[in-house]
Structure 1
Amino acid sequence: MSNVGGIGTNGTNNSSSSNSASSASSSSNSSSSAISASVQSEYNTFLTILTTELQNQDPTSPLDTNQFTSQLVQFSSLEQNLQTNSLLQQLVTNSTQGAVSSALGYLGHTVKATGNSFTLDGTSSDKPTLSYSLAGKANTAVLDVLNSNGQTVREIAVSTDAGSHSMTFDGQDSSGSQLPAGTYTFKVQAVDAHGTAIAATTYETGAVTGIDTSNGVVNLHIGSLTVPASNVVQVVS
């Protein structure tokens, strides 16, 4: 996995951005190159065997025509596989580089992405934004904050209107005590007047400080969180 360092909100450095994009795609290039090298090695081995066989055949008993034709077909198939692999490698490389270049535009900006995690630094001044949307009007809606063990540490009654909502979380548990530093998750449970569940989508919000690529997926760093760039639904600022 390759990392791209953050760029401040006051501006960007074109040279740094270019180097970052190149670094971020190196993981994908390395994996594709390994596959290509393997196929190329088999291609060279097959060619060597076939050439050696032709050079050492008995003139009085030449290689059987059917057998030789079969070998040529295999040779042609291997050559086509090598060419196909090369083209696929180019497509993957171009696709990853394009995604990285696009993701570079998020650096230094605050984004909203589908997800349900947030972090606290353990101080009263840390007040993360928790966002969600409801598919329809609800009768009751509750936002649950869970710790790393999956235990609910806070329940908050939230807006029941359909659509998008955001709230500032004060970082306190149900007894009013400051929660310790760490990563937390949240979920929204909403029901209508008949007790039928209303679909709720949660979002992670924060400033993008860096990007990386892993297995062809471009990820954004939002604080200590890692979010796929494809999850972004809005650039807040």
Structure 2
Amino acid sequence: MEITNTQTSTAAQNVITPPTESASEISSDFETFLKMLTVQMQNQDPLNPVDSSDYAVQLATFSNVEQQVQTNDILKDLKAQLGLSGIAQMADWVGKEARAATAVQFSGAPVTLFPSPADSATEMDVVVKDATGFEVARFTQPTSDEPIEWAGVDANGVPFASGLYSFDIESFDGDTLVETTQAAVYATVREVQKTPAGDTLVVFEGGSTVPASDVSAIRAANT
């Protein structure tokens, strides 16, 4: 007996694999996948039918992909909700002073520095830089992590102009520079914001910013 319509396309003979489009496309194409599977069953070679276990594998594989996509979407939503919750909790920071390694707005009042010299340092220099990164002053201090008061005046006692200043701590072992770190200061928080990447930034008076995770202390603003 002659059997007709035994030829089938290469796509019908091969195992269907889940599409590799974006997550939204994968999650919306399950019905299309079922239609393709039905067509495969209708057009298979009767002399060489696809084993039923292959269908089960195809269904299970696509179902797993769809479930993973849905799980990822849920996690993204949770992350966004947690981020908004964190922003709301940190709103109380605005107007207070946060301690972090950042530039500080100087307006004539002394600035307290919190250095972190290298463990191997035998001496350290405090390097004062303006908003452009230009070195405007340098002085040597005993190697310690104790707070340092910067009066905001030059070697002749003339006050520096108001503006943003940062403070580098250069650690020396003898004459060898072994490490440079930025001293932490207290600066007034003006804003807390969320970046498109999901990170939380603290914006200080003067415009300097640091990740919220870099803030080591919060206190009421000096009046």
Task: Give the TM-score taking structure 2 as reference length.
Answer: 0.66
**Cα distance, 1:174–1:40 mapped onto 2, change above 3 Å:** same
Q: Structure 1, residues 33-60: CA drift from partner, whole Å, max 9, x if none?
A: xxxxx52332222422423652796389
**1: distance between equivalents of 2:71 and 2:171?**
51
Residue of structure 2 equivalent to 1:39: 23
2:111, 2:185 within 8 Å by CA — same for their partners in 1? no
Q: Which has the higher contact order (CA 8 A, sep 6+)?
A: 1
- Secondary structure of 1:163's match? coil
Q: Which runs of 5+ in 2 are unaligned?
A: 1-21
Identity %: 21
Q: Is residue 165 from structure 1 mapped to residue 147 from structure 2 by the alignment?
A: yes
How far 1:97 sits from its partner (Å)? 3.1
How far 1:116 sits from its partner (Å)? 3.9
Residue of structure 1 equivalent to 2:190: 209
RMSD: 3.7
**Cα distance, 1:166–1:95 mapped onto 2, change above 3 Å:** farther
**Cα distance, 1:51–1:74 mapped onto 2, change above 3 Å:** same
Residue of structure 1 equivalent to 2:84: 97
Matches within 5 A, 1:43-122: 43-51=27-35, 53-54=37-38, 58=42, 64=50, 65-113=52-100, 115-120=101-106
How far 1:211 sits from its partner (Å)? 0.5
**2: distance between equivalents of 1:116 and 1:212?**
17
How far 1:143 sits from its partner (Å)? 0.9
**1: distance between equivalents of 2:90 and 2:127?**
31
**1: distance between equivalents of 2:165 and 2:104?**
5
Structure showing greater Rg = 2
Residue of structure 2 equivalent to 1:232: 215
- How many residues in Structure 1 have an aligned counterpart in Structure 2? 194
**Cα distance, 1:177–1:69 mapped onto 2, change above 3 Å:** same
**1: distance between equivalents of 2:133 and 2:182?**
19
**Cα distance, 1:41–1:82 mapped onto 2, change above 3 Å:** same
Task: Give the TM-score taking structure 1 as reference length.
Answer: 0.63
